Chain A
Amino acid sequence: MSEQPADPQQEKDSPSLLHRVESHILGAAIVALVLLAAWQIIRRALFNEAWIHADGLIRQSVLWLAVLGALAATGRRKHIAIELDPKADQRPWAAWKSRLVSLISAAFCATLAWYGWRLVELERDGGMELLPGLPMWCSLLILPIGFGLMALRFGWQSIVAAKAETP
């Protein structure tokens, strides 16, 4: 019995270069958010100053973190799911079921990536600005790109089966 919580992130499979690079990008992204939010507080507390665009940027970064995090969670096969069968892993058809699940997820993500692209096009046609000079559609590009990559990842997982999970 370990004292640590059964933390889904603690079991680290042999990190490939891709996963390592991805980890560092994700880590840098959230640290940047912390520093931006903290900078806003410190500037205000010490110098009575605030950057009017900081809050909009902080909020938009939540969307980015959501999509990037979901993409990374896909890579580790760690999405929230309801498994009704407690012995699902031990069934003979487990690998095929997992492929089918990945295929359905890939189809959904591809569809959403397409509609994300439609949203970007809609926004390019007379939309708003995120920062002065930076149009909002640039930020919304995360939807087609993120869900597109997620579709590829799920698609790949529907071809190669999951490594046998250790209990």
Chain B
Amino acid sequence: MIWAWLGLLLAALLGVPLFVLIGAAAMIGFHQLDYDLTLVAVEFQRLGQLPGLEAIPLFAFAGTLLGQSEAPKRLLAVVQAWLGWLPGGVAIVALCVCALFTAFTGASGVTIVALGGLLYPALVGAGYSRQFTLGLLTAGGSLGLLFAPSLPLILYGFVAGQLGTDPPTTVEDLFIAGIVPGLLMVAALSVLAVWRGLQRPQTRSRFELAEGLSSLRKAAWELPLPVLVLSSIYAGWVAASEAAALTALYVLVVLVLIRREMKLPRLLDAAADSVRLIGAILVVLGMALALSNWLIDQEVPSRLFEWISARIESPWVFLLLLNLFLLAVGMLLDIFSAIVILVPLLMPVAAGFGIHPVHLGIILLANLQLGYFTPPVGMNLFIASYRFDAPVTTLVRASWPFFLVLLGCVLLITWWSTLSLFAIG
């Protein structure tokens, strides 16, 4: 069996597609346990069962259509007219859009797929380097996980609620507790963006009202989209998970029927482009389900955690090891399995050290957010690599300043519980 693993390593060095590597790893793993390998196909077909996964194709479709239309130019004109004077203004807008988007989609790489085609030209057009732009979008891909109504936050509330914690954990408390840590992350990345913006003063422009108004008029069909989607959710017309369908429909209607920028053949071509993008990402995700299942079957996360928890003396060491452990798990498991498996393991140990269950939830999600783009196997690194046609190594280089800034935030959130808890009873 060692030969199979060596062969896999060799295939990895050759640059074999990621889905082949992950799928083959799962097959070898299951074969070693003498399991029927049909299990790999069973895991893959779960792509057709996961609630909310349809958001990936729907947002990818909407994002590709917008990206291939004239919409990015119109939106860039708006941002530059209104925020061109502010160093880092465009980047701050991009970060806020990313955070808002993730709060509603639950961060499964959707943000990069859907918004990449819009935000990349906007940031490069505003004078940011390709490197900085790639880093910002990769990091932005999971920013916003701590803001309501993010699904991982709700799931944590439910799982922890079942454990009968003292004090009890409610979803409402988590929604409140996530606000300041989430804002801290957005603010810290904004500072980085402003600092970069100040290094390029020549790209700054003066604000002119006439230009500002005309840019708004030109983008009059695109700008209301987020407001329309959010108000439809809050008015109870659509479920949060249907935001993707509503967005796709709106984009289709605006570009094809109202603006008439896309004739049928071009529409089908753009749509087909989005399906290739979806396929390349989901086929990796499907194989990752199989590999995750092998880890779960063999109880790897629980064993790893037991090993760690046997080596803890103080809450500080616990929190430090917790950070490392969660980063590792965040790279390997999907976020929903991670929450369901880890929370029951962590809760009693955390309670022993007097860590508030709501604070633990914020720590957990902040770490998993970072795990999305932790080198070398954070999923968003691969998605960004594909979306922007850049080698993964480039993306790792591009995103490390963002990683370090967010790592600082995560440590601060972990060790300074007041940030999360000051507003709850």
Contacts and interface: CB of A to CB of B under 8 A. Distances in A.
Direct contact of A and B (CB under 8 A): yes
B276 A26 contact: yes
Interface string B367-386: 00000000000000011011
Contacts of A149: none
Given A45-B238, A111-B27, A69 B45 contact: no
A122 to B, nearest CB: 7
B41 A34 contact: no
A5 B278 CA distance: 18
Contacts of A100: 14
A8 B389 contact: yes
A112 to B, nearest CB: 7
Contact of B67 (A5, A6, A62): A5
Interface residues on B, range: 35 or more
B38 A122 contact: yes
B351 interface: no
B404 interface: no
Contacts of B58: 33-34, 37
Given A3-B125, A66-B278, A119-B42, A38 B249 contact: yes
A138 interface: no
Nearest to B73: A3
B252 interface: yes
Interface residues of A, number: 68
Interface string A77-96: 01111111110100000000
Contact of B41 (A68, A80, A116): A116
Nearest to A8: B389
Interface in A22-66: 22-24, 26-31, 33-35, 37-38, 40-41, 45, 58-66
Contacts of A62: 47-48, 50, 53-54, 56-57, 282
Interface string B282-313: 11111000000000000000000000000000
Contacts, number: 234
Contacts of A86: 391, 393
A23 to B, nearest CB: 4
Given A6-B389, A38-B246, A115-B41, A80 B279 contact: no
A68 B275 contact: yes
B41 A59 contact: no
A80 B248 contact: no
A127 B24 CA distance: 27
A28 B273 CA distance: 12
Contacts of A71: 279
Contacts of B125: 3
B147 interface: no
Given A59-B50, A66-B47, A23 B268 contact: yes
A166 interface: no
Given A3-B124, A5-B67, A41-B246, A104 B48 contact: no
Closest 8 CB pairs of A and B: A69-B279, A27-B268, A63-B48, A37-B245, A66-B282, A27-B271, A9-B273, A79-B17
7 contacts: A23-B269, A27-B269, A40-B242, A59-B50, A81-B15, A101-B16, A108-B20
